[in-house]
């Protein structure tokens, strides 16, 4: 009997179920009754406290297009809490559960923090496979993460909707897009939604440059401006501050609202903020994600059959590419301000608020 564990960790996104389905269907197809799949509940917490359910072929049916996760999730355990807390050794507890179930492999569907933990478990001698989840597409070792394209559709739709009302009222609109510390989602949603200004953490903006871009549009007879702003975007002053100070400042007044107030003050234009927030992570996965997840899940099942463990199952140039977990752990994939895409977008007159 082959025994495989799986868990979904960190912020949820679309296509988690589609990925688990790919793994489950692949394994049952290959091993038939010879495989047992254990789904740990609410991320690493289920692995620590041995809370689980056995997954049968039925569990993987009808979930391809279902949002959320059939296993539940929780934030990965080493960000906010120490490894040993009140005498409870979390790593030892996870290893205990892994061994109690006599697992041959544990599949971790998670983003950056979660894959750091999976690399740690690998170091501790467990067989682990990571599957790249996140709407932020900020995971090192893969061109694309599942969730990103679905979130992109939603963020783009939000910008599309704002476009019409911004034009009717002649307003400046800031659409705050998720992405944590990385601007990939904002960049793509901004381009797809026809934003006039795109603000991302990788290119600190200057308020004067933002106002200049708004005024230039006015001079061209355009009475409204759309700004796609990453939730982690910073201005040039904030770029010089300590990260903790910036976080504290934005906790009091979110960056997008602060910017709207400044624009109003300096240009006299009426400015509004829209925050699509967690809608970007919700609902059904788009077709792209369903295909990507099915491929990644199926590839993970194939790797289990071959006894190939310790990798992030990534995709590069449209081919599945396993990358050692220790090579990607703790690395953030950010937008390169000198990349091709940035140059092309600049060349059509979209402002990044920096010049």
Q: Is 71 helix (H, G, I), strand (E, B) or coil?
A: coil
Quote the least distance from Cβ 281 to ligand F6P, whole Å.
Answer: 5
Q: Taking CB under 6 A as the rule, which mask of x and - marks residues 124-143 in contact with ligand F6P?
A: ----------xxx-------
Q: Which of residues 97-116 bind ligand F6P (CB under 6 A)?
A: 111
β-strands 172-177, 197-199 pairing: unpaired
| Rounded CA separation 48/100 (Å) | 12
Specify burial of residue 213 (Cβ count, 10 A radius: 0-12, 13-18, 19+). Answer: buried
Instruction: Pick the stretch among 167-175, 177-185, 207-215, 335-343 that binds ligand F6P (CB under 6 A).
Output: 177-185
40's enclosing H/E stretch is: strand 35-40
Q: CA-CA distance, 203 to 310, in Å (whole number)?
A: 35
Q: Looking at beta carbons only, is 13 or 120 nearer to ligand F6P?
A: 13
Query: Measured from the CB of residue 106, what is the shortest distance to ligand F6P in angstroms?
Result: 21
Q: What is the footprint of ligand F6P within residues 225-244 (CB under 6 A)?
A: 231
The one among 71, 144, 178, 312 contacting ligand F6P by CB under 6 A = 178
6, 7, 11, 204: residue in contact with ligand F6P (rule CB under 6 A)? 11
Nearest distance, CB of residue 134 and ligand F6P, angstroms: 5
At residue 235, the 3 state secondary structure works out as: strand
What is the Cα 125 distance to its own chain's centre?
A: 28
Between CA 17 and CA 222 the distance in angstroms is: 44
In the DSSP assignment, the letter for residue 196 is S
Please identify, using beta-carbon distances, which residue of 118 and 351 lies nearer to ligand F6P. 118
Residue 136 bears catalytic tag: yes
Tokens of 333: 């994939």
Q: Which is nearer to ligand F6P, 22 or 111 (CB)?
A: 111
- Among 26, 132, 141, 179, interactor with ligand F6P by CB under 6 A: 179
Give the tokens for residue 61. 């049916």
Q: Is 322 in the site for ligand F6P (CB under 6 A)?
A: no
Q: Which of 180, 188, 284, 290 binds ligand F6P (CB under 6 A)?
A: 180
Residue 282 CB, shortest distance to ligand F6P, in Å, is 10
- Applying CB under 6 A, does 150 fall inside the site for ligand F6P? no
CA proximity to 18, closest of 61, 52, 58: 61
Residue nearest to ligand F6P (CB): 178
180/333 with CB nearer ligand F6P: 180
Stretch that binds ligand F6P, among 90-98, 176-184, 241-249, 288-296 (CB under 6 A): 176-184
10 Å CB burial of residue 26 (0-12, 13-18, 19+) is buried
Contacts of 223 (CB under 8 A, 6+ apart): 167, 170
Q: Does residue 285 interact with ligand F6P by CB under 6 A?
A: no
The pair of structure tokens assigned to 92 is 């030892």
Ramachandran region of residue 50, left (φ > 0), alpha (ψ -120 to 50) or beta? left
Phi, psi of 88 (to 5 degrees): -95, 115
183 binds ligand F6P (CB under 6 A): no
Which of 136, 138, 196, 289 is the catalytic position? 136
Shortest Cβ 7–ligand F6P spacing (Å): 17
Question: What positions carry a catalytic annotation?
Answer: 136
Interacting residues with ligand F6P (CB under 6 A): 11, 111, 134-136, 178-180, 231, 281
């Amino acid at each position: 009997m082959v025994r495989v564990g799986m868990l979904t960790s960190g912020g949820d996104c679309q296509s988690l179920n589609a990925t688990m389905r790919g793994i489950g269907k692949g394994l049952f197809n290959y091993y038939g009754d010879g495989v047992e799949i254990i789904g740990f509940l609410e991320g690493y917490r289920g692995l620590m406290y041995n809370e689980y359910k056995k997954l049968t072929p039925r569990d993987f049916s009808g979930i391809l297009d279902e949002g959320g996760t059939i296993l539940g999730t929780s934030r990965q355990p080493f960000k906010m809490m120490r490894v040993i807390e009140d005498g409870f050794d979390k790593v030892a507890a996870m290893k205990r559960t892994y061994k109690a179930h006599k697992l041959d492999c544990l599949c971790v569907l998670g983003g950056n923090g979660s894959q750091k933990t999976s690399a740690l478990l690998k170091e501790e001698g467990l067989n682990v496979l990571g599957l790249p989840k996140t709407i932020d597409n900020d995971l090192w070792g893969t061109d694309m993460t599942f969730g990103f394209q679905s979130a992109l559709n939603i963020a783009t739709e939000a910008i599309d909707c704002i476009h019409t009302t911004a034009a009717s009222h002649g307003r400046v609109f800031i659409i705050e897009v998720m992405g944590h510390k990385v601007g990939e989602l904002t960049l793509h949603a901004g381009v797809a939604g026809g934003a006039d200004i795109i603000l991302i953490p990788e290119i600190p903006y200057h308020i004067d440059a933002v106002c200049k871009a708004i005024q230039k549009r006015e001079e061209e007879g355009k009475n409204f401006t759309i700004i796609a702003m990453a939730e982690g975007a910073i201005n040039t002053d904030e770029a010089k501050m300590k990260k903790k100070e910036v976080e504290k400042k934005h906790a009091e007044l979110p960056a997008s609202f602060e910017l709207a107030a400044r624009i109003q003050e300096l240009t006299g234009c009426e400015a509004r903020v829209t925050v699509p927030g967690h809608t970007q992570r919700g609902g059904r996965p788009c077709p792209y994600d369903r295909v990507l997840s099915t491929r990644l899940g199926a590839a993970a099942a194939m790797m289990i059959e071959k006894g190939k463990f310790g990798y992030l199952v990534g995709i590069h140039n449209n081919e599945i590419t396993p990358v050692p977990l220790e090579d990607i752990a703790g690395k953030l994939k950010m937008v390169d301000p000198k990349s091709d895409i940035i140059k092309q977008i600049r060349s059509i007159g979209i402002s990044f608020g920096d010049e």
